[in-house]
Amino acid sequence: MNSHASALIELEGVTRIYGKGQAAMTALGGIDLRIESGEFVAVMGPSGSGKSTCMNILGCLDTPTAGSYRFEGVEVGRLTQSQRALLRRNYLGFVFQGYNLLNRTTALENVELPLIYRGMAKTERRSRAARALEMVGLSGWETHTPGELSGGQQQRVAIARAIVTEPMLLLADEPTGNLDSVRSREIMELLADFNSEQGITIVMVTHEPDMAGYAQRQIHFLDGLVERDHLNREFT
């Protein structure tokens, strides 16, 4: 395994144990993983295999019990909670299965939210949010609230919110889990475009081999360990 410094994500012996003593439950049993900048990775595996735990750690929402996670060379486990929040604010974007938009809040305001936390001035914030909505094909829907949008549209708003900050890493947790196959393909093409055109690194959890097919690389989890890690044939 080569170890030059360009890797965006480096996991070494990452372990995550929930609970203590008799009740302790090992979710991740020592994982080594490198993801280079610009990759599009699909993470697969049955439920309970540790892939969600791994995503939480990659997203700096959780820290390893043991082992090392370096993001851009920074040891995340040594950061405080609010330093990790800053890391998420400046370098990460999240897309969830359930969209997780703010209710009773317009699409534009939802997309603006991460920019507000960056302290961006109102006019720039507005125009960047509008441009992000345009990139996901939702021009003209700015003033609609999530309740007035279809599932596919809501997920597009969520993607716009994730990419509006131009993150280095986009983490997507079953982004097509609630969508039909047509909408799913549209969302996947959108993600693939952001990956290839803007060079945003994407790590995506999915159950569906079809969706995983959009990624260049597939990592299969089983019982808290990486079972298989291979490139998709069409990308080799």
Partner 1 sequence: MVWNALLLALREIRRSLMRSFLTILGIVIGVAAVIVMVTIGKGATAQVTEQIASLGSNLLIITPGQRMGMGQRSAAPAFDEDDVASLRREISAIAAIAPNSSASSTAVYGNENWSTSINGTDNGFFTVGNWQLASGRRFADNELRAGKAVCILGETVRRELFGGQNPVGESIRLDKLACEVIGVLAEKGQSARGSDQDDTILMPLRTFQRRIAGNQEIRVIRVSIRDGASTQKAEQDITRLLRERRHISRNEDDDFSVMDLKEIEKMLSGTTEVLTMLLGAVAAVSLLVGGIGIMNIMLVSVTERTREIGIRLAIGAQGRDVLLQFLVEAIVLSSLGGIIGILLALGASVLLADLMKVPLVFSPGIFAVAFLFSMAVGVIFGYFPARKAARMDPIIALRHE
Stretch that binds partner 1, among 33-41, 78-86, 206-214, 223-231 (CB under 8 A): 78-86
- Tell me if 156 contacts partner 1 by CB under 8 A: no
- Tell me if 146 contacts partner 1 by CB under 8 A: no
Residue 197, token pair as written in the block: 């055109």
3 vs 66: CA distance, rounded Å: 20
Find the angle CA(61)-CA(85)-CA(175) to the nearest 5 degrees.
50
Q: Which of 75, 78, 118, 231 binds partner 1 (CB under 8 A)?
A: 118
- Tell me if 96 contacts partner 1 by CB under 8 A: yes
What does the chain look like in DSSP terms, one character per residue? Answer: ----TTEEEEEEEEEEEES-GGG-EEEEEEEEEEEETT-EEEEE--TTSSHHHHHHHHTTSS--SEEEEEETTEEGGGS-HHHHHHHHHHHEEEE-TT--PPTTS-HHHHHHHHHHHTT--HHHHHHHHHHHHHHTT-TT-TT--GGGS-HHHHHHHHHHHHHTT--SEEEEESTTTTS-HHHHHHHHHHHHHHHHHH--EEEEE-S-HHHHTTSSEEEEEETTEEEEEEE-GGG-
Q: Which of 6, 105, 196, 198 binds partner 1 (CB under 8 A)?
A: 105
Q: Which of 26, 37, 65, 100 binds partner 1 (CB under 8 A)?
A: 100
Q: To the nearest whole angstrom, how small is the minimum distance from the Cβ of residue 93 to partner 1?
A: 8
The residues pairing with 11 across neighbouring beta strands, listed in sequence order, are 33, 69
- Tell me if 194 contacts partner 1 by CB under 8 A: no
230 vs 192: CA distance, rounded Å: 18
- Tell me if 15 contacts partner 1 by CB under 8 A: no
Cβ distance to partner 1 smaller for residue 131 or 230: 131
Q: Which of 69, 71, 94, 214 binds partner 1 (CB under 8 A)?
A: 94
Stretch that binds partner 1, among 16-24, 100-108, 202-210, 214-222 (CB under 8 A): 100-108
- Tell me if 82 contacts partner 1 by CB under 8 A: yes
Count residues near partner 1 (CB under 8 A).
31
Q: To the nearest whole angstrom, how small is the minimum distance from the Cβ of residue 117 to partner 1?
A: 5
- Tell me if 102 contacts partner 1 by CB under 8 A: yes
- Tell me if 116 contacts partner 1 by CB under 8 A: yes
Point out which residues bind partner 1 (CB under 8 A).
56, 59, 61-62, 81-82, 85-86, 88-90, 92-94, 96, 100-105, 109, 113-114, 116-119, 161-162, 165
